[in-house]
């Protein structure tokens, strides 16, 4: 991929300058119905109304997207690449689903060439669905991490991933030991963390499949490498929470298991949190940890309804991103994930506006991953990962959205909501990574 030093994209742009959960949408949403994005070496050099920037940049090679909507690339804050092939596995809730489907599938990722094939397929799916950054579970095998990062590096993607740490309550074929998980993770961090756009996440699967010793090793790694992430599961399912209480009788609750191991930090991302107590939400807020809200997964496994309004409470706010959680999630699309996030909120008599949902999928996700200085909006200096959405991608969307380009926030909200309810990968017209077009159907 050759890069022009300077080039421009013209079209309708939508992103956020603040969090619409706390700041009125009129002040947090940024919409340029005719905007210009100027890129220099993959980063954003200028951004504003075309009319204002025209004089200075009209000479640049410019790609024009008319009647489309350009937004920052989607950020998937929780997904398992080795589970791609077992998406839509029938009939179980969390713990049985892990035993019946997940562990056998993940055991295949001891084979690095198999892992490479799936990693490439997975990353291609992400780009086709408009996802440009993800926080990713690999399998227990270090080579499954190598395969993933090699594939991501090839595509110049900002990806965060880690080797699963899992030393009990799982088949031997997919277990490590506390000691080996520490050594292997340590080596992987040294090999991959901050190599180009890649980042490492220390990744114990969850409290049930790690001994206390292993969780303490995970905490030790966070001490040794202060800017790596912690990525695990938390309070997804009622039976899981009960099992954790049995395994850790001395802990005050599920989150406390992680807290006692030093895993609750401002670089920690916990998937699900469906069953969290009020005190646990407060603790996550105080620690500046993040939750990955994974509605398609929570519905598919019957885990329950995440309390988005509590997580985003102004009194004790928690960082939240959206996660597809494939393979328990049922779509790679963050549009479809927003669809079901809206439905989860509706069942709880809460409203998740389209702007709030898009925030979660973009700048909110970047904040959850502490990447907001690099990604998640069109602010100057950020890396130019963005996507072009087609509001008329299917006949039904075309009928629903009509012909006009939105000229008000209300019209824009309506178009965006239709995209979330009716859109999927077909609505992704183009995906750019560091200013380069990498996917167009």
Tell me whether residue 252 or residue 421 sits nearer to a copy of itself (CB atom): 421
Site string for a copy of itself, 337-366 (x = CB under 8 A): --xx-xx-xxxxx-x-xx------------
Site string for a copy of itself, 50-69 (x = CB under 8 A): --------------------
Residue 94 CB, shortest distance to a copy of itself, in Å, is: 11
Phi and psi dihedrals of 67, rounded to 5?
60, 30
Place of tokens 């699309």: 333
334-347 and 409-422 helices cross at what angle (nearest 10)?
A: 100
- Give CA–CA dist 197/185, Å, rounded: 19
Tell me whether residue 49 or residue 302 sits nearer to a copy of itself (CB atom): 302
Site string for a copy of itself, 271-300 (x = CB under 8 A): ----------------------------xx
Report the site for a copy of itself in 161-200 (rule: CB under 8 A). Answer: none
Would you say 202 and 229 are in contact if contact means Cβ atoms under 8 Å apart? yes
Here the tokens at position 242 are: 């009960």
In order of 32, 34, 151, 354, 361, the CA distances from 266 in angstroms are: 33, 37, 28, 27, 19
C-beta atoms surrounding 283 within 10 Å? 21
119 binds a copy of itself (CB under 8 A): no
What is the rounded (10 degree) CA torsion for 114, 116, 118, 120? -160
DSSP string covering 341-370: HHHHHHHTT----HHHHHHHHTHHHHHHTT
Report the site for a copy of itself in 379-438 (rule: CB under 8 A). Answer: 395-396, 399-400, 413-414, 417-418, 420-422, 424
Report the site for a copy of itself in 299-338 (rule: CB under 8 A). Answer: 299-302, 304-305, 330-332
Residue 215 CB, shortest distance to a copy of itself, in Å, is: 30
100 binds a copy of itself (CB under 8 A): no
- Give CA–CA dist 196/299, Å, rounded: 36
When binding is defined by CB under 8 A, the residue of 90, 113, 314, 315 that contacts a copy of itself is 90
Residue 330 CB, shortest distance to a copy of itself, in Å, is: 5
- Give CA–CA dist 314/204, Å, rounded: 30
Interface with a copy of itself (CB under 8 A): 84-88, 90-91, 93, 121, 124-125, 128, 299-302, 304-305, 330-332, 339-340, 342-343, 345-349, 351, 353-354, 395-396, 399-400, 413-414, 417-418, 420-422, 424
């Amino acid at each position: 991929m050759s890069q022009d030093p300077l080039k421009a994209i013209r079209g309708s742009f939508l992103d956020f300058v603040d969090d619409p959960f706390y700041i009125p949408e009129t002040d947090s949403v940024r919409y340029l119905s005719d905007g210009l994005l100027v890129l220099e070496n993959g980063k954003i050099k200028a951004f504003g109304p075309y009319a204002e920037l025209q004089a200075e940049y009209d000479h640049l090679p410019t790609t024009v997207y008319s009647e489309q909507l350009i937004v920052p690339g989607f950020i998937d804050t929780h997904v398992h690449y080795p589970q791609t092939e077992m998406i839509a596995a029938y009939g179980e809730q969390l713990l049985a689903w892990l035993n019946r489907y997940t562990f056998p599938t993940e055991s295949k990722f001891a084979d690095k060439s198999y892992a490479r094939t799936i990693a490439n397929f997975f990353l291609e799916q992400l780009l086709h669905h408009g996802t440009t950054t993800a926080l990713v579970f690999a399998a227990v095998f270090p080579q499954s991490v190598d395969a993933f990062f090699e594939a991501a590096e090839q595509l110049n993607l900002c990806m965060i991933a880690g080797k699963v740490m899992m030393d009990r309550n799982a088949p031997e074929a997919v277990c490590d030991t506390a000691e080996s998980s520490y050594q292997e993770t340590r080596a992987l961090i040294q090999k991959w963390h901050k190599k180009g756009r890649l980042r490492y996440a220390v990744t114990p699967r969850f409290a049930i499949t790690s001994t206390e010793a292993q969780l303490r090793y995970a905490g030790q790694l966070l001490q040794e490498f202060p800017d790596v992430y912690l990525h695990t599961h938390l309070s997804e399912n009622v039976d899981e929470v009960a099992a954790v209480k049995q395994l850790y009788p001395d802990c005050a609750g599920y989150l406390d298991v992680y807290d006692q191991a030093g895993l609750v930090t401002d670089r920690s991302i916990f998937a699900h949190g469906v069953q969290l107590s009020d005190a646990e939400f407060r603790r996550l807020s105080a620690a500046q940890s993040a939750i990955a809200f994974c509605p398609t997964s929570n519905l598919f496994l019957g885990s329950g309804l995440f309390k988005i309004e509590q997580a985003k409470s102004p009194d004790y706010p928690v960082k939240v991103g959206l996660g597809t959680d494939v393979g328990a999630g049922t779509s790679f699309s963050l549009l479809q994930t927003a669809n079901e996030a809206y439905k989860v909120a509706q069942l709880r008599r809460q409203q998740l506006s389209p702007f709030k949902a898009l925030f979660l999928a973009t700048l909110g996700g970047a904040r959850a991953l502490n990447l907001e200085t690099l990604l998640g909006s069109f602010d100057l200096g950020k890396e130019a990962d963005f996507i072009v959405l087609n509001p008329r991608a299917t006949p039904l969307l075309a009928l629903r959205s009509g012909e006009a380009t939105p000229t008000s926030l209300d019209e824009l909200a309506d178009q965006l909501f239709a995209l979330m309810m009716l859109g999927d990968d077909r609505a992704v017209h183009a995906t750019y990574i560091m200013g380069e077009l990498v996917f167009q159907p």
